[in-house]
Structure 1
Amino acid sequence: MLSEGWQMDVNGKLTGTTVMVVDDMEVNRYAMGTVLSRAGHRVVPVATGGEALAELDARLRKGTLPDVALVDVGLPDMSGFDLCRLFKERPHTAGMPVVHFSAAAVAPVNRCQGLDAGSEAYLKVPAEPLEIEAVVRAAVRNARLRADDRALVRRLTLLSETIVTIQAARSLNELADAAAEGVARLTGNPAAVFVLDQDDRLHRGLSRDRIPVALPDESADRTVATLLRRLARGQAGVQLTTVPAQLWPTGFFRPGVDHDARLALAPTQDSRATVCLASPARGIRRVGLEGEALLAQLAQATALAAEPLLMYQVERHVALTFQHSFLPQPHRLPDLPGLDVAVRYVPASRQTEIGGDFYAALRTDEGVLTAVGDVVGHSLEAATIMVEIRHALRAYAVDESDPAVLAERLDRMLQRYHSDVTATACLALVTPDTGRVRIANAGHIPPLLIRGDGDADYAKAAGPLLGVGLPHPEPTELFLDPGDRLLMVTDGLIETRGTDLTASMEQLRAAASGSLPGLDALCDTLLACFGHEREDDIAMLALRLG
């Protein structure tokens, strides 16, 4: 790209460039400067290599480096070739083109030395003004092309890095954040990215360089959603458009500042959702047509990366509908004489994960059967099989109460109908009149018994997973006293990647023993301690004698 000071005259010649002339002879500097000034260039004359380096340092602080340097070969403090090497060794001046000149005869081998040092050309003076101007013009144009190529390579690298990041996103909001950061790096300006999904919900991401105050409110989001619906109507392919500042909400790019917004919109393949990349229009203009083309590519890549997340979102909604429909809510638990029960269910915080966790509380001929379990895997299938297990358990419990027998029947059901699926479950049969509890544990976290005095310990109950076809041991037996509480949870409450499950279970035991009395207090305390941003669903059931 041409710098702001460069211009073209009617003959297509570059004017307005800044040329540094380095020559220890004042008369030569004057002559060269006169020729260049008459051609419309700004001239910076210096006498020595040391003065040239000092001048560049001063201009670097102001951001006004020369566009080209004409350097005499024979300087008093260093050769012009050495000065050129020093220019090229410095990162901020390495791209500045250098033209060597000399009034004395220079052997071809010395001219080659200048080219090896990084100069663009060699000029024998005195020279015709047209020749001097042509050499300067060629040097500046070549430098411009190289700078453009480097900028393009840099942007292509940024584009590739951003695409890798957005493809690894696990939610639409995470995707929008990653894409916004990529737009900001490509354009050098704050950016916002929006995904308008098939249910007209707007998912937003902002680049990190935006000042983190005065975030846009819901009204701003509604305005953007309305704009996107209007712009995306009938759209095919990527669309680049500018929205005037009076129509674009204030604050998405810089708090309290109005901007014309340059948008790159891309629909998903089914056209049910729209991705929008937004940045200040003035900043987009600075990156030029190539930059806009890369922005369009990023919009398309973001739309492609959004498609599986949108599919997961639909699948997650269906799965949660299954879970909430088939898991009895606390106010809809069956009447369980002699027993108080509290339950909790918390979906995974990761929006793309769908679990198969469940709980159950059933009246049987011999008492109350409680259960928690977890189908291995995260998918709509896992949620569906969870529903099957709950229904099977309800059916088996009509004429059977022994938890070990029930575990074996569930095991056979999985082997026959879902041979590639396993599940964990813990079943407890409670006799309220006597406080007797019989526990069958199929690969699950054992129940935690919290005594009335606050002492807590896990029941010594273990057994194989459901679905593997191994025999289940006789139930473990314990007795509840008035005031005792029995807690059954799925591992989503405490399991953390990189942390030993035994250590997490000990933390759970300590938290439960220190909780306030009551079932709701116990459940709420544990969710407050462990239930934030979990990667798996949480099912929890707590009981005590009524």
Structure 2
Amino acid sequence: MYGNREQSDTTVLVVDDVPAGRHALGPVLRRAGHRVVPVAGGREALRELDERQRTGRLPDVALVDVGLPDMSGFDLCRRLKSRPPTAALPVVYFSAAVVAPRDRCRGLDAGGEAYLTVPADPLEVQAVVRAAVRGARRHGDAEALARRLTLLAEAVGAVQAARCPAELADAAAEGAARLTGSPAVAFVLGPGGELHRGASRERAALALPDAAAHEKVAGLVARLTAGRGGVRSAVVPASLWPAGFLRPGVREEARLVLAVPRGRRTPVCLAMPAGAGAGDALVARLAEAAALAAEPLLRYQAERHVALTLQRSFLPLPQGLLPEVPGVDLAVRYVPASRETEIGGDFYAAVSTGAGVLTAVGDVVGHSLEAATVMVEIRHALRAYCVEDPDPAALAARLDRMLQRYHPDVTATVCLALLHPGTGRVRVANAGHLPPLVVADGGGAAYVDADGPLLGLGLRRPEPAELVLARTDRLLMVTDGLVETRGTDIGVCLDRLRETAAGAPPGVDALCDLLLGRFGQDREDDIAMLALRLG
């Protein structure tokens, strides 16, 4: 509105009720290359500005006579400065009568930029107008830069908060689109040549090109960044850039901003139409920030894949791999976290021993590849230890010592239960885990009074809890990923679980399915669940 036009390409609104005054100022301003819009009063000036606002052609400066008949020039200035569309319009007063120092002070206090006494030398009039326009443009440029710096800060924050390469690419593309006012797409090229793509919101709502086009872009980005670090910009001819990335079905030149920070190997490419983002340092900074954030995310994604593969390969599937124990029905469920960046250490186990069936549900504290590997160690150690002594208290003590010896910085929770199928007797040792829940078929549910310190702390453990499971009872063991909700007391969460389980239909599978349906959607942690009953 008050942008980067040449000084001679300006429009001046002259507000004067005296025709001679308007006619005197007009030639002076036109000789300096200004366009002149003459109006006869304050209300006419407001109507003219409203019309120009609708068409996007506001003037660059207003010359206002102080002594207008319908409102004073000071009042007109106050109105202009109080309305957002015209608040930045510079106002220069002129008067032949109201020229005392206090009048000048009133005018400046009302928001005016300058005060002319007429008749004035034409050169003075031209100089005052130039100064007023120049000041408004500098102010407008500073505000525009501040707005764009805010957009950049928001975009970098979104990029740094991304939890996976696809989220990062989406955030970078949206940031580039907001900075340039054009559609944008972003590409992150992984070390194996895999391409992660994101699009600005407006562009993402429409269909994007097929896999062949993505392969072409991956090859292009790899060639343009091969052996080169830093940030650079390149215009790709329409013949080399796949159609439809920026605008559906359109083949066009594309401007690429590519970043490979020094010492890194992951290129990030921001793509926009050729006319957008040219020489834009802020877009370059966004590309660099995205590239700095991309490599750790890709490393973490690879680590996550390894950890999840490891974790799930050692969790037996419900069908066919659980021990067949005469007189005992078993059901298990495992649901990975919905958040892509989380790697849990949740596990369950069921082992047939000479003293009955040993069941366990636990969670290694933390979300990392180490948590997943320690989880596997605990499951193997549990199976090995129970060959010699399946008592839950002895097993908890041995697992505690194992962690202290081999993983002194790791802690874990586990609940162990040994069920004798013939008598229904259950012995429970709990190490910092949620207590088991006994659910009756006829309604009602109660937690077993079993607690104790986490594994890995070397603290004294209480005696195990003992109970007798009736044939109409089910014993439920879960990890906290099923019920724990951020900002809600864990006691409240456990009460909700107990109340829901009490109304479950008969059977261990029905119980697990009901609870997963009620609590297991969009969880931020893995869920492990085991239910058993006497058959």
**Band the TM-score falls in, shorter-chain normalisation:** 0.7 to 0.9
Contact 2:430 2:464 survives alignment (8 Å): no
Q: Does 1:439 align with 2:428?
A: yes
What's 1:62 paired with?
55
What's 2:467 paired with?
477
RMSD across aligned positions (CA): 3.4
From 385, 408, 411, the equivalent of 2:400 is 411
Q: Deviations over 1:152-183 (max 9, x none)?
A: 12222332343334434444444444444443
The letter of the residue matching 1:349 is: S
Pair 1:319–1:131, CA change in 2 (3 A): same
From 43, 50, 53, the equivalent of 2:36 is 43
Question: In structure 1, how many angstroms separate the alpha carbons of the residues matched to 2:107 and 2:287?
Answer: 46
Cα offset, 1:245, TM superposition: 6.3
What's 1:374 paired with?
363
Gaps in structure 2 of 5+ consecutive residues: none
What's 2:383 paired with?
394
What's 1:305 paired with?
293
Question: In structure 2, how many angstroms separate the alpha carbons of the residues matched to 1:230 and 1:167?
Answer: 26
Q: Deviations over 1:125-171 (max 9, x none)?
A: 55565554444334323322221111112222332343334434444
Q: Does 1:29 align with 2:22?
A: yes
TM-score, normalised relative to structure 2: 0.86
Pair 1:272–1:511, CA change in 2 (3 A): farther
Cα offset, 1:362, TM superposition: 1.9
Pair 1:502–1:121, CA change in 2 (3 A): closer
Pair 1:213–1:156, CA change in 2 (3 A): closer
Question: In structure 1, how many angstroms separate the alpha carbons of the residues matched to 2:367 and 2:262?
Answer: 26
TM-score, normalised relative to structure 1: 0.84
Q: Does 1:490 align with 2:479?
A: yes
Contact 1:268 1:275 survives alignment (8 Å): no
Question: In structure 2, how many angstroms separate the alpha carbons of the residues matched to 1:62 and 1:432?
Answer: 84
| SS of residue matched to 1:477 | strand
Give aligned-pair identity as a percent. Answer: 64
Question: In structure 1, how many angstroms separate the alpha carbons of the residues matched to 2:199 and 2:9?
Answer: 39
What's 1:466 paired with?
455
Question: In structure 2, how many angstroms separate the alpha carbons of the residues matched to 1:232 and 1:524?
Answer: 51
Question: In structure 1, how many angstroms separate the alpha carbons of the residues matched to 2:276 and 2:423?
Answer: 76
Cα offset, 1:216, TM superposition: 3.3
Gaps in structure 1 of 5+ consecutive residues: 8-13
Contact 1:176 1:203 survives alignment (8 Å): yes
| SS of residue matched to 1:499 | coil
Between 1:233-242 and 1:329-338, the stretch displaced more is: 329-338
| SS of residue matched to 2:86 | coil
What's 2:340 paired with?
351
Question: In structure 1, how many angstroms separate the alpha carbons of the residues matched to 2:35 and 2:264?
Answer: 54
The letter of the residue matching 1:305 is: A
From 286, 298, 311, the equivalent of 1:323 is 311
From 208, 218, 221, the equivalent of 1:216 is 208
Question: In structure 1, how many angstroms separate the alpha carbons of the residues matched to 2:161 and 2:81?
Answer: 40
Contact 1:184 1:190 survives alignment (8 Å): yes
Q: Does 1:294 align with 2:286?
A: no
Matches within 5 A, 1:168-179: 168-179=161-172
Question: In structure 2, how many angstroms separate the alpha carbons of the residues matched to 1:335 and 1:48?
Answer: 94
Contact 1:488 1:540 survives alignment (8 Å): yes
Contact 1:425 1:441 survives alignment (8 Å): yes
Cα offset, 1:494, TM superposition: 1.2
Q: When the two structures are aligned, how many residues end up with a matched partner? A: 532
Matches within 5 A, 1:236-275: 236-243=229-236, 261-267=254-260, 270-275=263-268
Cα offset, 1:66, TM superposition: 0.7
The letter of the residue matching 2:340 is: Q
Contact 2:229 2:260 survives alignment (8 Å): yes
